[in-house]
Structure 1
Amino acid sequence: MTRTHRWAATAFTCLALTGIAAGPALATAPADGATTGHPTDAGFLRASHQGNLTEIAAGKDAQKNATTACVKNVAKVLVRDHTKLDADTRALADKQGVDLPVAPSKEQQDTLAAIMAKAGTKAYDTAWLNAQAAAHEKTLARIDNQIANGKNAEVTAAAKAARPVVAMHLDMVRGGECRDHGAAKPKRIHAGNGGQAATSLAADVPVVLAVPALAVGGVLVAGGAFWAASRIRRNDNR
C-alpha cells in the first residue's frame, strides 16, 4: 500500500450513480505498530488522519447546508484547522513509515451521511453540532492517551500541539450548542518538521468519502465531490 499523499490526487474518481449500493471507500491498513514498532504511535496517526478527513468533509458540507451563520462559521474553522493538522499528520506518518487509511471509517461515513440527509433544515444544524461534539471528545481522549502512553517523541509532540486546537473546537460545539467565538484563530497547529502551508495542500487532502446517495439510491463521493452532491440534491428536489 503506498502512502496517502502519493495517490491523494487520483485515489478515487467519483463513483457512478448507478443505483447499486457500494461499499465504503476504505483500505485495510497494516496492523498498528507494523512500521513504527509501537502500536500507540501508529494507531494515533491513522486515527488522527481519519478524524481530520471526517472533519474537513463535515465542515465543507456544513458551510453549504447549515441554516445558521454560527454553524457555518464553526465549520469554516474546522476545515481550516483540520486541513493544517492533517498536513502535519501526513508528513509525520511519511517520516515514520506509517501507511494511512484512504478514507474515514465506516462509522464516520455513516454519521456524515445521516447528517447530509437533513441538509437545509434546523435538524441538520442540531445533528451536525452533536456529531462534532462527540467526535472532538473522542479525539481529545485519543490525544491524551498518546501523550500518556506514546513512545515516539515526535508523534507525542504533535499530539500536544494539536490538543489546544481540538479543545477549542470542542468548546465551540460542546453540548450541541454553537459558539463561534468570532472564529478565533488557534495559537498552535503545526508540530515537528512536517508542517506545511494549508493553502498549498488543501486541494491535496484526500477527502474521499463514500456515502449513501440520499435520493438516487447510489453513492455520492463527498469531499472533493460535495459540489456535485449538492447539485444532485437540488435536482432531486425539483
Structure 2
Amino acid sequence: MLRRIPRFLRVSVLVAVLLAVSVSVFQSWSSDTPGTGGWTQTQWGPVGPADRDLLAKVRMAGLWEQPTGQQAEQQASSPQVREVGQHVAGEHATLDADVRTVADKLGVLLPTSPSAQQLAWMKEISAQTGSDYDRMFVQRVREAHGNVLTQIAAVRVGTRNSLVRDFATTAAEFVTRHIGYLESTGLVDYDALPAPPSPGLLSGATGWTDLAVPILVFIAALLAASALVAAMRHRSAPRRVTAARPPSEPPLDPPVAPTAAIPGPRGAPEISGPYPVAAPSSGVGARRRMSPTDVSGPYRRVDPAPGESTGS
C-alpha cells in the first residue's frame, strides 16, 4: 500500500509530523519546565508533573524577585515604590523557605538560578534610573506575579497531594498581596501585560507559537488524505491487457532481414554428338553424371556410379 503512495507525499507527511513534534518540544523547553517526569506516590498523595512545576516556578520567582525587591528598596525614586520593594523582598524570603521545605518532603529537585527571561528582566530593570526605574520595576514584577498566579490557581484546584494543595493556598495569598502592592503605585500599564493563557486550538490567539502546531498538524493531515486518495485512484484504475506472443513463436533477437529469392540450378543442356548419354538403369532412375575428365572433346562421358550398369 505504501509503495503506491507517491514518494513526495510520504516525505511531506513525515516532515510535517517531525516539525509539529519539534515545535511542541521547543515550546516545552521555552517554558523552563522540560522533562518534569511522571507521578510519584508520597504519604500526602501522588505528586504529578504540575505539582513539581509549581514548586519550581515559585522557587525561581523568589530567586529573582527577592534581590530585585532589595534593589528597589535602595534605588527607587518614589518612597512608595521603595516600600513596595521592601515588602516584596521580605515576603519572598518567607515564601522561598516554605517552598524548599515542601520540596524536601516530597523529594522534588528545585532550580538554583533564575531563568534566562528572569535574568533579562533583572538586567533591564538595573539599567534604568529615576522614575524610569520605578515604572520598569513595577511593570516587570507585576507581569511575573500575574504569570505565576494562574499556575498556582490551576494546581490548587487540581492537585491530588494535600501538601502541595496547602502550599498553593499560601503561595496564592502571597502573590495576590504582592499584586496589590504593585498596583497601588499607579504605575502599572495594563495594556502592556500579556493576555490570559490560551484555552487551546479554538482560542483567538494569532501568535506564531499558538498557530504553529495546529498549522503543521493540518498540513500533515491534508498530505495524508491526498496520499490516500492517490493510492485509491491508482488501485481502482483499469489495467491494460497486452496480447502475449504464442510460445511457438518466440521473438527474434536480433531480427532476421528478409532474403532475396535465388533462382534454382539450370537443367543439363541437351547433348548432340557422337557420344550419347546412356539411359538410366532399370528400377533405379539414376542419371549418368558427366565429368570433364572422362573423354576428350567438347563433351566427356561420366563413369557409372558404383552399382550402376553401363547398359552395354
Letter in 2 for 1:100: L
What residue is the counterpart of 2:55 in the other structure?
45
Task: State how 1:75-86 maps to structure 2 within 5 Å.
Answer: 75-86=85-96
Task: State how 1:169-188 maps to structure 2 within 5 Å.
Answer: 169-174=178-183, 177=186
Write the distance in 1 (CA, Å) between the matches of 2:39 and 2:90: 30
3-state SS of 2:136 partner:
helix
C-alpha displacement of 1:151 = 2.2
In structure 1, list runs of 5 or more residues that go unmatched: 1-27, 180-238
What residue is the counterpart of 1:57 in the other structure?
67
Write the distance in 2 (CA, Å) between the matches of 1:158 and 1:178: 30
Q: Does 1:116 align with 2:123?
A: no
What residue is the counterpart of 1:99 in the other structure?
109
1:178/1:80 Cα in 2 relative to 1: closer, same or farther (>3 Å)? farther
Write the distance in 1 (CA, Å) between the matches of 2:180 and 2:99: 23
Letter in 1 for 2:87: V
Of 90, 98, 107 in structure 2, the residue corresponding to residue 88 of structure 1 is: 98
In structure 2, list runs of 5 or more residues that go unmatched: 1-31, 41-46, 189-312
Contact 1:111 1:131 in 2 (8 A): yes
1:148/1:162 Cα in 2 relative to 1: closer, same or farther (>3 Å)? same
Contact 1:52 1:83 in 2 (8 A): yes
Normalised by the length of structure 1, the TM-score is: 0.59
What residue is the counterpart of 1:32 in the other structure?
36
1:95-122 Cα distance to aligned partner (Å, 9 max, x none): 111111111110011011001001x321
What residue is the counterpart of 1:15 in the other structure?
none
Task: State how 1:124-163 maps to structure 2 within 5 Å.
Answer: 124-163=133-172
Contact 2:69 2:85 in 1 (8 A): yes
Write the distance in 2 (CA, Å) between the matches of 1:56 and 1:40: 24
Contact 2:135 2:187 in 1 (8 A): no
1:169/1:143 Cα in 2 relative to 1: closer, same or farther (>3 Å)? same
Contact 2:139 2:187 in 1 (8 A): no
Contact 1:93 1:99 in 2 (8 A): yes
Write the distance in 2 (CA, Å) between the matches of 1:110 and 1:135: 13
Write the distance in 1 (CA, Å) between the matches of 2:54 and 2:186: 28
Write the distance in 2 (CA, Å) between the matches of 1:30 and 1:100: 13
Contact 1:66 1:72 in 2 (8 A): yes
Write the distance in 2 (CA, Å) between the matches of 1:30 and 1:126: 32
Write the distance in 2 (CA, Å) between the matches of 1:86 and 1:75: 16
3-state SS of 1:104 partner:
coil
C-alpha displacement of 1:175 = 8.3
Contact 1:33 1:40 in 2 (8 A): no
3-state SS of 1:31 partner:
coil
Contact 1:29 1:99 in 2 (8 A): no
3-state SS of 1:95 partner:
helix
Q: Over aligned residue pairs, what C-alpha RMSD do you find?
A: 2.2
1:65/1:35 Cα in 2 relative to 1: closer, same or farther (>3 Å)? farther
3-state SS of 2:35 partner:
coil
1:54-93 Cα distance to aligned partner (Å, 9 max, x none): 2102101111211111111011101111100000100110
Largest Rg, 1 or 2: 2
What percent of counterpart residues are identical? 28
C-alpha displacement of 1:34 = 5.2
**RCO higher in 1 or 2 (8 Å CA, sep ≥ 6)?**
1
Aligned residues: 151
C-alpha displacement of 1:35 = 7.2
